[in-house]
Amino acid sequence: MMNWDDPLGVGKPKEDAKQPPATEPAKKPAAEVKKPEPETLNVTPENTLNNASSGVEPVRAEDKRVINGLTDVNQLAPFKYPWAWKFFLNANKNHWTPLDINMTQDVHDYNKTLTEDEKHVYQNVLSYLTTSDILAMRNIGLAVMEKMSAPELQIYQARQVYEEALHTWTYQHCIETIGLDQGEIYNRYRVVPEINQKIQVANRRLNSVLRPNIDLNDRDELENFVLAYMFFGAIFEGCWFYNGFSPIFALQRRGLMKGTAEQLQYIMRDEVMHASFGIRVVKQIIEEENVKLDPAKIREMWDESEAAEIGYAKYLLRRPILGYSAEDHSEQFRYIANRRARQLGIEEPFPGAECTLPWLDEQSNLRKEKNFFETRVTEYQTGGALSWD
């Protein structure tokens, strides 16, 4: 039976304390008495009840580290990385749900206005993105966040996990509202090689750091972790997502699918912050841990990502839609990749790449502020409930 006066069992129960011991244990000679082990002065993420219940030194900001830190991961301040806390505060300014945005016109556009090629683009963008955001959520929530040893980093990443789930809900909301076949759309990443290739590239990076026994004090493991985080921050979210919304924005610029595009604008704001945060963290780890990345491995990462993006663009835009082609998409990937490389402080992978979609940055920079309580959708039907005969 649990003793509620001592639920952890670290002391004697009260009733036992009243009973004298039957025999007095013999005292050991002074020479045999062991001195108590010195208490651990700082709490690490791996420490257990012993350290949690013992006295610890106050946390000093200068002792914190992104990974392999020895300070108390439960104590937020003092900050060593105030920029991480600012990311969290800024993220909360972009708060919304897909239910806040009217999709009525999108249902009409899809059924009455879009060409077959435009429908093909719309369907496959959603098919790719909904699987990718779950991958991004698993990467941050399961593979990255647990390895952070400064809580101000983890708090933003916890918000990031929520945002990836919100993005997945948004794609699902679009698919359901338009009335698309959910089983068919969701399974395309398995049966369409050009979509599957991008997913498998990301899966390999994720699985290489998802293992629970990773020792980031091992230099090889550390280098692999940094490369994986670099891939997800700079390429997966910084290029593939950033570039991935552009076909829908191309439709929006012609007055089509504006509800979907507005939702992607809010998502794009999140993804820009995710990419910037990931790049900042990678640079911090490289500096603190004195990581020397292999240029050949970085080059391989860019080349593999470019090949996957070109294949996807050719499938997505098998025939150009008005104002947008596979060549535009692929060249914009290279242009954005150079930008991410400059942010990382490494060599540009595609020198001379041109900006083929100069309007793309406007989608994340555009000020879109509204009172959602006044614009919340309260009465409309999903596409599956409407007849288009």
Tell me whether residue 305 is in a domain: yes
Tell me whether residue 39 is in a domain: no
Tell me whether residue 68 is in a domain: no
Q: pLDDT value at position 386?
A: 39
What is the spatial distance between Cα 71 and Cα 60, in angstroms, rounded to a whole number?
8
Tell me whether residue 358 is in a domain: yes
∠ CA 328-300-319 to the nearest 5 degrees? 25
Q: How many domains does the chain have?
A: 1
Distances (CA, A) of 73 to 165, 241, 348, 375: 25, 31, 36, 41
- Of 146-155, 185-194, 375-384, the least confident: 375-384
Q: Give the mean model confidence (pLDDT) for residues 195-199.
A: 94
Q: Which of 120, 103, 116 is nearest to 385 (CA)?
A: 103
Tell me whether residue 226 is in a domain: yes
Q: Which of 337, 314, 336, 335 is nearest to 326 (CA)?
A: 314
- Which tokens is 117 given? 């090629």
Residue corresponding to tokens 């009840």: 49
pLDDT digits (tens, 9 = 90+) for 83-138: 999 999 999 888 889 998 999 999 999 999 999 999 999 999 999 999 998 989 99
pLDDT above 90 (res 377): no
Tell me whether residue 87 is in a domain: no
Tell me whether residue 67 is in a domain: no
What is the spatial distance between Cα 134 and Cα 125, in angstroms, rounded to a whole number?
15
pLDDT digits (tens, 9 = 90+) for 209-242: 998 789 999 999 999 999 999 999 999 999 999 8
According to DSSP, the residues that pair with 324 across neighbouring strands are 321
Distances (CA, A) of 338 to 110, 128, 325, 352: 35, 23, 20, 9
Q: Collapsing DSSP states into helix, strand and coil, what is residue 321?
A: strand
What is the spatial distance between Cα 266 and Cα 155, in angstroms, rounded to a whole number?
20
Q: Which of 107, 363, 367, 377 is nearest to 252 (CA)?
A: 363
Contacts 24+ apart (CB under 8 A), 26-31: none
Band of residue 56 on the pLDDT scale cut at 50, 70, 90 = low
Q: Collapsing DSSP states into helix, strand and coil, what is residue 324?
A: strand
pTM of the model: 0.78
pLDDT above 50 (res 182): yes
Q: What CATH number does the domain containing 250 carry?
A: 1.10.620.20
Structural domain that includes position 143 = 103-367
